[in-house]
Amino acid sequence: MNMKRDHPSPRALVGAMRDLSAIEPPASLLPAVLRLTDLADTFLPLETSVGTVFVAWNSRGISAVRRQEDAAMFARDFTSQYQRRVIESDARTASALRPALEATIRGERKAPLPFDLHTLTDFEQAVLRKALDIPRGQVRPYGWIAREIGHPRAMRAVGSALKHNPIPLLIPCHRVVLSDGHLGQYAMGGTNIKRALLTVEGAEPDVLETLAEQHIQFFGSDTTDVFCFPTCRHARRVAPQHRVTFSSVREAENRGYRPCKVCRPA
């Protein structure tokens, strides 16, 4: 019994493939495919108080923030570090995301943005997420983060994790200072950039440096017998005539003061 063959001949298939190869795909197709398959991140430029930064993200969340001279340099450095491409966002997506980024930087957004930290260790992730708990306009020392995440002796490791923070500014590692109170370095441009960011936030970096020089690490109130970090909102409410200073937790506790339950200095 003869059956009619419904399949095209090999020669017809070859001809059809040649016809398809002659069709030029739209320019937007490759970027869209790369984004959908997580083979490329998307980025946009963002104007901040310390200049232009470039923010990249993917399906997991924001993956990188960098200060760069231009988009081409950012894309090149991103690909070199992460071994994947990064493609500039279209205007519509960029305009939709910018308000959330700007609100986060201004401290007006309560819920944190999603971050892509999956390539970091659990310890590094814990350090960066704890930095998110530091309020705008306040600072905490490395030792505070180490203690808060359950590794009180890991101050050096905390410093290393903050130094390699892939998402500075949005994860505010600029609010973490040295254990003696000095500002220390900053991965996104050094101490001057850190000082500028803290100034905009109202943390008074010059005052912090002066306190560090005087070995003053805590403020106490002689009316409440509570001691705080100097930038704590409770410390700032203490009138000068009722303010006492301490160089260590031990000194404060030996004088009968108890730690603040909000900033948790001890």
φ/ψ (deg, to 5) at 265: -75, -15
**Cβ distance 209 to 180 under 8 Å?**
no
Catalytic residue among 173, 232, 260, 263: 173
Euclidean distance between CA atoms 219 and 228, whole angstroms: 5
Q: Within 10 A of 24 (CB to CB), how many other CB atoms are there? A: 7
CA–CA distances in Å: residue 45 to residues 2, 5, 83, 103: 67, 58, 21, 15
Q: In what order do the strands lie in the sheet with 226-228?
A: 243-246, 218-221, 226-228, 258-259
Closest CA relative to residue 115, chosen from 166, 185, 48: 166
SS3 sequence of 183-215 = CCCCCCCCHHHHHHHHHHHCCCHHHHHHHHHCC
* SS3 (DSSP) at 135: coil
Known catalytic residue: 173? Answer: yes
Residues marked active site are found at: 173
